[in-house]
């Protein structure tokens, strides 16, 4: 059965695999970012490619917000499908505040987001209050991007001069 463009039987099969062996869920993606020379960056991961920055494109900080929204859309669609709940419309509006002084070399403070807020706009006829609360909890607790943003993740930087 397909609900919200998701094959529910395939999803349930994945859940069973994960119950038997959690390592099935281990992911370690790698992306390559390459300056294009025009103010934009080409990001590749395998055969997939996007361009970030430059005229008319989302910049890196906007892409971070977009990644949160896109991830939570996936979370909602997947868990709604498992509930048998069809989604007619879904959009997420994300906003964040940061200051670019450190980015521009003026000041010692960092330039990351100080806060991020987002609103999910959901049209799912027949959805109960409990189902909506369930979907909200799934986003808050199990969104990979959301979890990453709220966790202290060690970053290791190496520069190789070529």
Q: Which two tokens stand for residue 51?
A: 């361009």
In the chain, the percentage of residues whose pLDDT exceeds 90 is 91
For the entire predicted model, the pTM comes to: 0.93
* CATH architecture of the domain with range 2-9+59-150: 2-Layer Sandwich (3.30)
The CA distance from 74 to 71, in Å, is 5
List, for residues 66-81, the tens digit of each pLDDT value: 999 999 999 999 999 9
What does the pLDDT read at residue 131? 98
- Tens-digit pLDDT profile for residues 94-137: 999 999 998 899 988 888 899 999 999 999 999 999 999 999 99
The residues near 51 (Cβ < 8 Å, ≥ 6 apart) are 36, 40, 41, 42, 43, 57
């Amino acid at each position: 059965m397909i609900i919200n463009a998701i094959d529910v039987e395939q999803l349930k099969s994945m859940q069973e695999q994960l119950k038997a062996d959690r390592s099935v869920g281990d992911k370690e993606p790698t992306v390559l970012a390459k300056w294009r020379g025009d103010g934009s960056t080409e990001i590749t991961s395998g055969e997939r490619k996007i361009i970030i920055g430059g005229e008319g494109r989302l910049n890196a900080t906007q892409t971070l917000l977009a990644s949160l929204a896109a991830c939570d859309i996936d979370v909602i669609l997947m868990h709604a499908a498992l509930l048998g709940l069809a989604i007619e419309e879904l959009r997420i509006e994300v906003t964040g505040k940061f200051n670019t002084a450190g980015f521009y070399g003026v000041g010692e403070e960092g330039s990351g987001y100080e806060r991020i807020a987002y609103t999910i706009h959901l049209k799912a006829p027949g959805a109960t209050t409990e189902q909506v609360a369930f979907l909200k909890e799934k986003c808050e607790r199990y969104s990979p991007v959301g979890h990453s943003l709220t966790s202290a993740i060690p970053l290791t930087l190496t520069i190789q001069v070529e």
